[in-house]
Amino acid sequence: MTADKQITRKKFFRYSFYLLTFPLIYLWAKLIEERESLIDTKKLIKIPLDLPNGASVYDDVLIYKQYDLLKIFSASCTHLGCKINKIDSGNFVCPCHGSKYLFNGEVSEGPAYKSLKQLDYKIDQKEKVILVEINGKV
């Protein structure tokens, strides 16, 4: 009788384990899937082609233009991902912890140590815009 109860108890714990574990694994997989779909989200930014020379912040990108030279960077700070939204004394400046980046994307002052992510772009002469595709949130 005692042996039956122990087996029953073992079965109870085993079934309980499965009943609790499988839903948790399912939820975990759903969370990962949702997170990946957020990362895969793409956003198309259209920048007017007649942008003036110099540095500018436009939507979720940072732009540096000097005649034919055009560099476009993600506005996501390489320190902890805050959106860079300011230009000061020849630098793009992050509002969160003050990291500064030169207009070529290199760090001029930490705490960030990695350069800004430079983005590819296409020029649409018909619409007179610069097209930049960025991933997810910035």
Interface residues with ligand FES (CB under 6 A) are 77, 79-80, 82, 94, 96-99, 111-112
Q: Which is nearer to ligand FES, 61 or 94 (CB)?
A: 94
CB of 103 to ligand FES, least distance (A): 17
Q: Which residue has the tokens 């574990």?
A: 21
Q: Which is nearer to ligand FES, 23 or 81 (CB)?
A: 81
CB of 119 to ligand FES, least distance (A): 18
Strands, E assignment, the chain: 42-48, 54-58, 61-66, 69-74, 86-88, 91-93, 100-101, 107-109, 121-124, 129-135
Q: Which is nearer to ligand FES, 91 or 129 (CB)?
A: 91
What are the residues whose beta carbons fall under 8 Å from the beta carbon of 137, sequence distance 6 or more? 38, 41
CB of 102 to ligand FES, least distance (A): 15
Spatial contact of 76 and 84, defined as CB atoms under 8 Å apart: yes
